[in-house]
Amino acid sequence: MTTHHITFTINGAQEEALVTSHITLLAFLRERLGLTGTKNGCATGECGACTVLLDGEPVNACLVLAAEIDGADVITIEGLAHDGELEPLQQAFIDHTGTQCGFCTPGILISARALLNRNPDPTEDDIKDALRGNLCRCTGYQRIINAVQDAAKAGG
């Protein structure tokens, strides 16, 4: 089985690793790097629980190979807070109870982060559209939308 030597940055730190061809980015993050904030929900691109930023854009890590991240920059939920301080978007989810069981939350925060990066002033429809690929079975979504709107207003 082929192995690949990959060099990448993960949450700002430069790393390298040897990976076999068929290991997904999701499995690599969770099982090799111990970054279990990224969740495995469906493993088929439907639920968004595995969403991470790859070169600044959100992707479903269950449908990316670890071998494909050679030279890339990866940000997971573990990379949002800095120096022990939650970023404003995360704080807004707490303030609005935008999270209940929490399983969907890492993926939603990454999708929302990506949205605010490309559009700092989104409409409600923009937010719904950006989160279309993230399923939540608990909150009913409205609190999530409120949290993202609030974070956007606060410049987050």
Ligand X SMILES: Cc1cc2nc3c(=O)[nH]c(=O)nc-3n(C[C@H](O)[C@H](O)[C@H](O)COP(=O)(O)OP(=O)(O)OC[C@H]3O[C@@H](n4cnc5c(N)ncnc54)[C@H](O)[C@@H]3O)c2cc1C
Contact positions vs ligand X (CB under 6 A) = 44-46
Tell me which of another protein, ligand X, ligand FES, none is bound by residue 102, counting a contact when its beta carbon lies within the kind-specific cut-off of 5 to 8 angstroms: ligand FES
139, two tokens: 């909150």
CA distance 113 to 107: 10
Q: Does 138 bind ligand FES (CB under 6 A)?
A: yes
- Report whether 27 contacts 18 (CB < 8 A): no
Half-sphere exposure of 56 (CA within 13 A, CB side): 3
Q: Which is nearer to ligand FES, 23 or 43 (CB)?
A: 43
Q: Which is nearer to ligand X, 2 or 44 (CB)?
A: 44
Q: Does 106 bind ligand FES (CB under 6 A)?
A: no
Neighbouring CB atoms inside 10 A of 117's CB total: 12
Q: Facing residues of 58 across strands?
A: 53
Tell me which of ligand X, ligand FES, another protein, none is bound by residue 68, counting a contact when its beta carbon lies within the kind-specific cut-off of 5 to 8 angstroms: another protein
Question: What phi and psi, each to the nearest 5 degrees, are found at residue 7?
Answer: -120, 135
Q: Which is nearer to ligand FES, 62 or 152 (CB)?
A: 62
- Report whether 134 contacts 104 (CB < 8 A): yes
Q: Which is nearer to another protein, 121 or 129 (CB)?
A: 129
Minimum Å distance from CB 96 to ligand FES? 12
Q: Please report, as residue ranges, which positions from 53 to 72 form the binding site for ligand FES (by CB under 6 A).
A: 60, 62
Tell me which of another protein, ligand FES, ligand X, none is bound by residue 120, counting a contact when its beta carbon lies within the kind-specific cut-off of 5 to 8 angstroms: none
Question: What phi and psi, each to the nearest 5 degrees, are found at residue 28?
Answer: -60, -45
